[in-house]
Amino acid sequence: MDHPHFTELADSTGLRKSASEPGSAMPRQRKYLQHIGDQWCAPANGEWFETVNPANGEPWALIPHGTAADAERAVAAARCAFESGTWHDLNPTARGELLRRVATYLEAHIEELAPIEARDNGRRQVDLLPQLRYLPKYFHYYAGLADKIEGTVIPNDVPGVFNYTRHEPLGVVVAITPWNSPLMLAAWKLAPALAAGNTVVLKPSEHASASTLELALLLELGGLPPGVVNVVTGFGQGVGSALVSHPDVAKITFTGSDASGRHIAAAAGQGLKRVTLELGGKSPQLVFDDADMDTAVHGVLAGIFMGLGQSCIAGSRLLVQNAIHDRFVERLVAGMQGVRIGDPFDPHSQLGPIANQPQFEKVLAFIAQAREDGATCVLGGQAAHPANCPTGWYLEPTIFTNVTPDMQLYRDEVFGPVLAVTRFRDEDEAVRMANDTRFGLAAGVWTTDMARSVRLSQRIAAGTVYVNTYRSVSALSPVGGYKHSGYGRENGIDAIREFLQVKSVWMGLAPVPNPFPQDRT
């Protein structure tokens, strides 16, 4: 978007590239500002850091290096907006209507952010556009819920009282997001938090901040009152931890790795703050010998390689029944051979780059360790060098077989295009292996046996179980983890409850008797 808050950098910075260069469908360069209250402001320390386009490895924008001072200002703005009553004192129907207007504004403009997010994290335009077109639905859905949060009248066992409950907002919510889908994940947090009447300070990942700043502008132009959504940028250890430990913050909603989740939970514990954690996964896909082969092959490939495995629910651990193991692996390998890797702005590219250099190196280290541990690499396993983008961070889609439960590749989240394949004998062994993980975010079951699919959907310990499908998400359906994949839920009716607290109101209907009558003789 063209806007004075996002200054174009002068050519003299050396950052400007022509639109014809790989990965640079957006011709201009930007120096971003943070959004605090009704201001677009420079970071308190006057420092910016470069954000790099993974398609070509080159910096393309400057992001404010927010620190504790910026966290302080943003929380103060959010608190002021909360306490002024401009948001949570709006009657819920009016709040819902305002959110719906914002959602309608987003519908008209959200696609403009596709090239920004693609430069942030390398997502292909063809993957991003449907996700962004859907994004306003999260706001519409929670706008609709804003005036349907009803308390109850308690049929109380105490005589002479009228007792009812109210669901009230918490206050200032801090929302922290990762780099893989910054806009969608911001919507998952903002829409229910705002519908419930809270105000928010949002901090995107240091690897992909630009699209969230642009989203803040759309929310402002769409009519959200000042201070209701504030965006600060910077690193987890700086502005992030300052936000998490700020005494005026009532709730943290966090999406990221389980390692960071542990820090957030500890800090939230210190401050006795509420917290929702959406963390990582090592989600199993169970393929039985009675599965529809084509459907299962397509579902497993999409589950791991769409988005290059950089999805929390990536189906990264494939468990295949013995009888079809070899045939199934052959089909997977054939399905990926010759896949076109390249510029995410090129509609012919079927896979784009890894989102950032540290992640690229982390995935290569996982691949090296899997080889050392004795797994068999049957596809890929190398960096890729597409002709149209020779300097970006590209990886071949990779499949390892003979992966055993003691290996790192079986246990830890790669968050990259690496599939770990293991055989199983029967249903009991499949369930045991599926649940043999510290994570519990999602699982896929591929079978034509209906009774088995029902049994498995009950026996697998994961927040989402897909049967003969994979990867769907909707504003209407809850997402969340079992075990180390986190706690709390996003999306669906459950999510708005994460941003509310229940008050019990007691009203006396009869005169209060004197507790200390005077006849004391």
Residues found near ligand NAD in the complex (CB under 6 A): 176-180, 185, 203-206, 235-237, 240-241, 244, 255-257, 260, 263-264, 278-281, 312, 413, 415, 441, 479, 486
Instruction: Say which residue the tokens 């897909």 belong to.
Output: 466
CA angle 9–11–16, rounded 5-degree value: 75
CB contact set of 157 (below 8 Å; sequence gap of 6+): none
* 131 versus 177: smaller Cβ distance to ligand NAD: 177
CB of 66 to ligand NAD, least distance (A): 10
CB of 230 to ligand NAD, least distance (A): 15
What residue type is assigned to position 239 of the chain? V
For residue 211, which of 36, 322, 341, 53 has the smallest C-alpha distance? 53
CB of 135 to ligand NAD, least distance (A): 15
* 24 versus 359: smaller Cβ distance to ligand NAD: 359
What's the token pair of residue 447? 């079978």
Question: In whole angstroms, how large is the CA radius of gyration of the chain?
Answer: 25
E-only strand ranges, 292-417? 317-321, 376-379, 383-384, 394-395, 398-401
For residue 207, which of 226, 182, 225 has the smallest C-alpha distance? 182
CB 141 within 8 A of CB 476: yes
Out of 72, 278, 490, 498, the active site residue is 278
What's the token pair of residue 182? 């910054």
168 is catalytic: no
Out of 312, 389, 490, 498, the active site residue is 312
What's the token pair of residue 338? 């010759």
* 105 versus 482: smaller Cβ distance to ligand NAD: 482
CB of 385 to ligand NAD, least distance (A): 25
CB of 112 to ligand NAD, least distance (A): 23
For residue 469, which of 315, 335, 350 has the smallest C-alpha distance? 315
* 197 versus 480: smaller Cβ distance to ligand NAD: 480
* 178 versus 380: smaller Cβ distance to ligand NAD: 178
For residue 358, which of 36, 199, 121 has the smallest C-alpha distance? 121
312 is catalytic: yes
CB of 48 to ligand NAD, least distance (A): 16
For residue 112, which of 34, 188, 206, 211 has the smallest C-alpha distance? 211
Residue whose CB is nearest to ligand NAD in the complex, by number: 236
* 275 versus 384: smaller Cβ distance to ligand NAD: 275
The residues that are catalytic are 278, 312
